[in-house]
């Protein structure tokens, strides 16, 4: 990619990893957009090289000006990603309307627009995990976060924008720089902390007979693979669409926990706990991306195996950085 690159949600989990990879590829003319607030998220920016950083509101005011910055790509990762957020109005403004505004601006500027959708749009998975348009139109997300993401997907479909933009439905992403997410961070650092603190890992019991305790399955994808796929589509304008971004290989929570124990050279000790009442009926028991369209759109690199990703994350980050 040549020219300025705009990254929203740049201090977040995926955002800071993406900016770091842009730096590794020689890009520093980057405009970051994020709300740093009063927490520790700013630490994700330490060591990164970029031109400037604006708050989301400042960025909106900026693009309304006649001399708004020209950019080759706008990678829109900024959103509230909490699946337990109850303020529907906030999610509509933050995840749906804001995305519409920056997308419309990018299209008027001939700026490549790539945005983060989510596997949460698939709801309970009864319709499968096919990113075809016919399936997308029928989806019923289980929470307001997933619905806010789904609303923009539907809006872009109605306006036939997916011949010009890319939406990536990220599945269960894990990797460095997610600590600021608190309870919404992946289970890998949670399991690591539990092993350090008490020597065992707690996983949810199953209330479905077809799944053993801890046997619920997700499509876990390492953040470096998500970043690579996102940058691929930011660069290659010849491919567009609403695409799954997952490995296509579901693994169990037991597999994940055993991977953390293995990376720490510990004997597995997994114990099963009751699922919180707030998650009952809203919990995905199985996710697995259909990757046919992703591959057909030109993204061909292999995905990191779960055990390899966990080992890299634990030994090269959690054990050294905390």
Whether residue 41 lies in the annotated active site: no
Catalytic residue among 96, 145, 147, 222: 145
Residue 138 pLDDT = 97
pLDDT of 1 reads: 67
Question: Residue 58: which H helix or E strand, with range?
Answer: helix 56-63
Neighbours of 305 (CB within 10 A): 15
CA pair distance 37, 223, nearest whole angstrom: 24
Read off the tokens for 177: 């720089």
Q: What CA–CA distance (Å, rounded) separates 309 from 295?
A: 21
Which two three-digit tokens encode residue 209? 């007979």
Separation between Cα atoms, residue 43 and residue 47, nearest integer Å: 9
Strands (E), 16-143: 30-33, 52-54, 73-76, 112-118
pLDDT given for residue 322 in this prediction: 55
* Alpha carbon distance 120, 90 (integer Å): 18
- What is the predicted pLDDT for the residue at 48? 98
Count of beta carbons in the 10 Å neighbourhood of residue 7: 29
Question: What residues does each domain of the chain span?
Answer: 5-172+222-248+289-303
pTM for this entry: 0.94
pLDDT at 67: 81
Query: Cα 233–237–239 angle (5° rounding)?
Result: 70
Of 181, 190, 249, 282, catalytic? 181
**CA–CA distance from 318 to each of 15, 180, 191, 315 (Å)?**
19, 14, 11, 6
**The tokens 């419309």 sit on which residue?**
104
pLDDT along the chain (322 residues), means of 10: 91 97 98 90 95 95 87 92 71 88 96 96 93 96 90 97 98 94 90 97 93 96 98 97 98 98 98 88 86 97 98 96 68
181 assigned to active site? yes
Q: Domain 5-172+222-248+289-303 in CATH: superfamily? A: NAD(P)-binding Rossmann-like Domain (3.40.50.720)
């Amino acid at each position: 990619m040549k020219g300025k690159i705009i990254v929203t949600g740049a201090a977040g989990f995926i955002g800071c990893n993406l900016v770091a990879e842009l730096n590794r590829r020689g890009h520093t003319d980057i405009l970051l957009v994020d709300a740093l607030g009063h927490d520790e998220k700013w630490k994700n920016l330490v060591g990164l090289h970029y031109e400037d950083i604006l708050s989301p509101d400042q960025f909106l005011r900026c693009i309304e000006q006649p001399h708004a910055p020209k950019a080759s790509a706008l990678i829109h990762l900024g959103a509230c990603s909490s699946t337990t957020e109850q303020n529907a109005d906030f999610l509509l403004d933050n995840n749906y309307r804001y995305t519409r505004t920056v997308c419309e601006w990018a299209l008027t500027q001939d700026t490549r627009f790539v945005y983060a959708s989510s596997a949460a749009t698939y709801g309970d998975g009864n319709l499968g995990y096919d990113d075809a348009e016919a399936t997308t139109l029928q989806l019923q997300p289980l929470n307001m976060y997933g619905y806010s993401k789904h609303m923009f997907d539907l809006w872009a479909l109605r306006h036939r924008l997916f011949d010009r933009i890319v939406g990536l439905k990220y599945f269960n992403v894990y990797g460095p720089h997610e600590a600021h997410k608190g309870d919404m961070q992946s289970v890998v650092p949670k399991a690591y902390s539990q092993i350090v603190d008490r020597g065992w890992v707690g996983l949810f019991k199953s209330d479905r007979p077809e799944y053993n305790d801890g046997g619920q399955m997700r499509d876990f994808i390492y953040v470096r693979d998500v970043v690579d796929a996102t940058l691929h589509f930011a660069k290659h304008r010849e491919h567009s669409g609403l695409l799954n971004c997952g490995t296509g290989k579901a693994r169990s929570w037991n597999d994940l926990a055993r991977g953390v124990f293995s990376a720490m050279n510990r004997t597995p000790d997994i114990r099963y706990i009751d699922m919180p009442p707030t998650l009952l009926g809203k919990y995905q028991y199985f996710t697995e991306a259909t990757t046919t369209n992703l591959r057909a759109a030109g993204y061909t690199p292999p995905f990191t195996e779960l055990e390899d990703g966990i080992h890299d994350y634990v030994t090269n980050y959690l054990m050294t950085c905390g």
